Chains A and B, each alone.
Chain A
Amino acid sequence: MTYSTIAIWTIIIGIGIGTYLIRFSFIGTIGRALLPVWAMRLLRYTPVAVIPGLIAPMVLWPTTTGGEPDPARIAAALAAAVLGIVTRNVIAAVLGGAATLYLMLYFIG
């Protein structure tokens, strides 16, 4: 990691304050404004809109392999996704993904 101490603290405090203001927004200012339906609808999708796009390049082009696609990591990601969707269980998805990754790395390298 190549950040200066000041940069790291700016990140930590910036996210802290920003997140607090988001949380406080409506609970704190009750009675002034309510969010329109379309905005609630958009916000509902922020996690599934951001997270898959964030990890897709990490899965396909991992930095540890110098950006070369790696069968073990792709298989592990797929295993975690399938287990997560089928079982709806976060722990099962993590364990399944980790097991797949280690088995693939062990057998294929």
Chain B
Amino acid sequence: MTAATTKSDFWRGLRDGSPFILAVMPFGLLFGALATEAGLDFFQVMSMSVLVIAGAAQFTALAQMQDAAPVALVIAAALMVNMRMAMYSASLAPHLGAAPLWQRTIAAYILVDNTYAVAISEYERNPENSSRNKVAYYFGSAVPSWVFWYFSTFLGAYLGQSIPQEWALDFAVPIAFIAIFAPLLRTIAHVAAALTSIVMALVLAFLPYSLGLFIAAGLAMVAGAEVERRTAGRAP
């Protein structure tokens, strides 16, 4: 294993991860602007993007806060959205597990949907590559989303203070969310989960503190998993 080949893996990852800049920018801008408008100060908005780096969870927290949910339920809702990352972490572990701890510490920090999608398809294409090559590729693929998430949040928070009321930005959160999840509806199981979630959340909307959301989400996960199990035949 030479340094040159790891370097080329890094650059290949960077190239494959770059298109996600276009996907990251609008949401970072929007998050920065909406969070600022909602009353968070500049340092708080940036801290959120730096500590969390997860668009969907950050929007979830914002929505829950605008709903005046208790602190514990704001955190719980955001973490529930991020539970999918445990699955990413588990499926990347065989590829990154041999790397030194300090590398894995950083790798965990920058694990987002984009990085996972790019990296796991690379590992499926080239399973025989060494752990060092895989780690280099992983960092390369993560850098664009990582850097531009900070940058776009910064821009959004900066510009957010000057956005006029008539722009009806209150509705940007639902639109952004729909735009994130609609393309995820790839299979009948995903559709079943989404419909269960919508129906149960509306039925249980009378419950205080967004408790209905947690019940609806739990049922929807079970619905999605069960439909997947049945449509996949007898697989365990």
Picked from A9, A17, A34, A63, the residue with its CB within 8 Å of the CB of B90 is A34
Query: Is A56 touching B178 in the complex (CB atoms < 8 A)?
Result: no
Instruction: Determine the distance from Cα of A90 to Cα of B63 in the docked complex, in whole angstroms.
Output: 20
Query: Is B51 touching A57 in the complex (CB atoms < 8 A)?
Result: no
Instruction: Determine the distance from Cα of A3 to Cα of B72 in the docked complex, in whole angstroms.
Output: 12
Interface residues of A (CB under 8 A from B): 1-3, 7-20, 22-28, 30-31, 34-35, 37-64, 73, 76-77, 80-85, 87-91, 93-94, 97-98, 101-102, 105
Secondary structure at the A interface, as helix, strand, loop or mixed, is helix
CB distance from A94 to the nearest CB of B (A): 5
Query: Is A63 touching B170 in the complex (CB atoms < 8 A)?
Result: yes
- Contacts A14-B71, A57-B201 known; 12 new A-B pairs at CB < 8 A: A7-B71, A15-B52, A18-B75, A22-B79, A22-B85, A27-B93, A41-B228, A44-B228, A77-B178, A80-B182, A83-B182, A94-B179
Query: Is A50 touching B213 in the complex (CB atoms < 8 A)?
Result: yes
Q: Which residues of A contact B74 (CB under 8 A)?
A: 11, 15
Instruction: Determine the distance from Cα of A80 to Cα of B185 in the docked complex, in whole angstroms.
Output: 13
Please tell me if B176 contacts chain A, counting CB pairs below 8 Å.
yes
Given contacts A41-B229, A58-B63, are A50 and B89 in contact (CB under 8 A)?
Answer: no
Given contacts A15-B79, A22-B82, A25-B90, are A80 and B228 in contact (CB under 8 A)?
Answer: no
